[in-house]
């Protein structure tokens, strides 16, 4: 079944909220490149979004400026919603990243358009703030969005890096926001990159 | 691999945070009774936690008292963490629910004990507040924790209800917090229970 089978209430506003709630369950079938820590399968967007939301409760002490963790956690849980329609764009795929912004804006029109206008606007604003990565909250959320798959890669013998024949420069570019915003965490990452190169998981 | 393979940093505090982050990925293999909306498989705890966190952004206008949504979202993402160790206890399994509290307290000692003490204490406090369901934030979070599987049940021909040969009284008991705290949403639920009985998905 799908959200189309939803039995409606008399409240049109609530119907939009229920429809949207059913629709976003599709996040469980948007698969990412990253493997689960146990290596059993790829993770999906729902799992990834949850994981970075919990991590956001833990690492703020390393960020250059304080963040409002409640807002960051909200950002984390909505930051990939548009991928229900636009699909996941692999971070190291430069071709797909060219039209990513356009695809995602169109997806946002459809998806957030399912909600009562005020709520659609609020969720979209959170997602756009995340995507712009300019405010302290968004920068910190973006760091969690990079740190989590990095952690998974280190624990799955560089699965995604090997698969993409990735080199250190590409990972450094992707992780640049941590170098800027969370230098101590980046120090740990840099040592892991050295190790990954030694192990042949990452090209020098 | 697992969190045991983590390459450590020089910062013992950060090591605890990284270990915990890797450990909680096990939420992706704690399966619940509830099916995904598309009926393809059961959902896991990571997916469920994410889903109720997003729903918490949408339904607060129906709650009897205002909630601090940032805090609620934090509660949602941590509320099932102890199940990594204690396992998921099916809401309608009265035998397993008898020693649930004791099993979960022991699990919390181990799991939150992995974190720096201040953070372990903070996450445990959030979980305990959720579990007690006494504050407005916890009541609202508990409502989302009940509404989401109810919604899934209505969209998967009462899958969990049929499987458990569940009757209306059991569902009403489980959903009592919505009757108290979100009466308008409960009205929609009650109509869905009527429909589920008509369809033979739920016993009268």
Contacts (Cβ under 8 Å, ≥6 apart) of B11: A184, A188
In chain B, which residue's Cα lies nearest the Cα of A72? B70
Tokens matching residue A185: 């965490």
CA neighbours closer than 13 Å in the CB half-sphere of residue A28: 23
How far is Cα B131 from Cα B123, in angstroms, rounded to an integer?
A: 12
How far is Cα B13 from Cα B119, in angstroms, rounded to an integer?
A: 10
Binary contact (A1, B39; C-beta < 8 A) = yes
How far is Cα A54 from Cα A27, in angstroms, rounded to an integer?
A: 18
Q: What is the pLDDT of residues B153-171, one digit of tens each?
A: 999 999 999 999 999 999 9
Adjacent-strand bridge partners of B203 = B167
State ipTM: 0.96
In which element (H, E) is residue A35 found? Answer: strand A31-35
- What residues of A are in contact with residue B73 (Cβ under 8 Å)? 53, 70, 73-74, 77
Count of CB contacts below 8 A, A vs B? 183
How far is Cα A125 from Cα A147, in angstroms, rounded to an integer?
A: 23
How far is Cα B39 from Cα A143, in angstroms, rounded to an integer?
A: 34
pLDDT reported for residue B81: 97
pLDDT reported for residue B91: 74
For residue A119, count other CB atoms closer than 10 A to its CB. Answer: 19
Average of pLDDT values for B130-152? 98
pLDDT reported for residue B93: 76
Residues of B (57-86) whose Cβ lies below 8 Å from A: 57-59, 62, 68-71, 73-74, 77-78, 81
Average of pLDDT values for B173-197? 97
Cβ pair A21, B151 in contact under 8 A: yes
Q: What is the pLDDT of residues B17-72, one digit of tens each?
A: 999 999 999 999 999 999 999 999 999 999 999 999 999 999 999 999 999 999 99
- What residues of B are in contact with residue A36 (Cβ under 8 Å)? 25, 28-29
Average of pLDDT values for A105-122? 96
Single pTM value for the model? 0.96
**pLDDT of B123 above 70:** yes
Query: Which of B6, B71, B185 shows the shortest C-beta gap to A155?
Result: B6
**pLDDT of A1 above 70:** no
- What are the φ and ψ backbone dihedral angles of A15, each rounded to 5 degrees? -60, -45
Q: What is the pLDDT of residues A130-189, one digit of tens each?
A: 999 999 999 999 999 999 999 999 999 999 999 999 999 999 999 999 999 999 999 999
Sign (positive or negative) of CA dihedral B157, B161, B167, B172: negative
Cβ pair B168, B191 in contact under 8 A: no
- In this prediction, what percent of chain A has a pLDDT beyond 90? 88
Instruction: State the nearest Cα–Cα gap between B125 and chain A, in angstroms.
Output: 13
- What are the φ and ψ backbone dihedral angles of B32, each rounded to 5 degrees? -100, 175
Cβ pair A67, A73 in contact under 8 A: no
């Amino acid at each position: 079944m799908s959200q189309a089978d939803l039995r409606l209430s008399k409240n049109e506003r609530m119907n939009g909220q229920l429809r949207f709630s059913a629709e976003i369950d599709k996040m469980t079938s948007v698969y990412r490149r990253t493997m689960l820590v146990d290596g059993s399968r790829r993770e999906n967007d729902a799992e990834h979004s949850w994981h970075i939301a919990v991590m956001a409760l833990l690492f703020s002490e390393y960020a250059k400026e304080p963040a409002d963790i409640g807002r960051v956690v909200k950002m984390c849980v909505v930051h990939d919603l548009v991928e229900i329609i636009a699909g996941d764009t692999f971070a190291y795929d430069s071709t797909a990243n060219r039209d990513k912004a356009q695809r995602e804006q169109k997806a946002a029109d459809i998806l957030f358009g399912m909600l009562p206008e005020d709520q659609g606007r609020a969720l979209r604003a959170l997602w756009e703030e995340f995507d712009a990565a300019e405010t302290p909250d968004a920068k910190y959320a973006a760091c969690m969005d990079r740190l989590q798959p990095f952690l998974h890669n280190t624990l799955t013998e560089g699965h995604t890096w090997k698969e993409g024949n990735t080199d250190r420069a590409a990972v450094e570019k992707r992780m640049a926001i941590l170098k800027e915003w969370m230098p101590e965490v980046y120090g740990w990452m840099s040592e892991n990159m050295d190790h990954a190169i030694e192990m042949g998981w990452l090209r020098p």
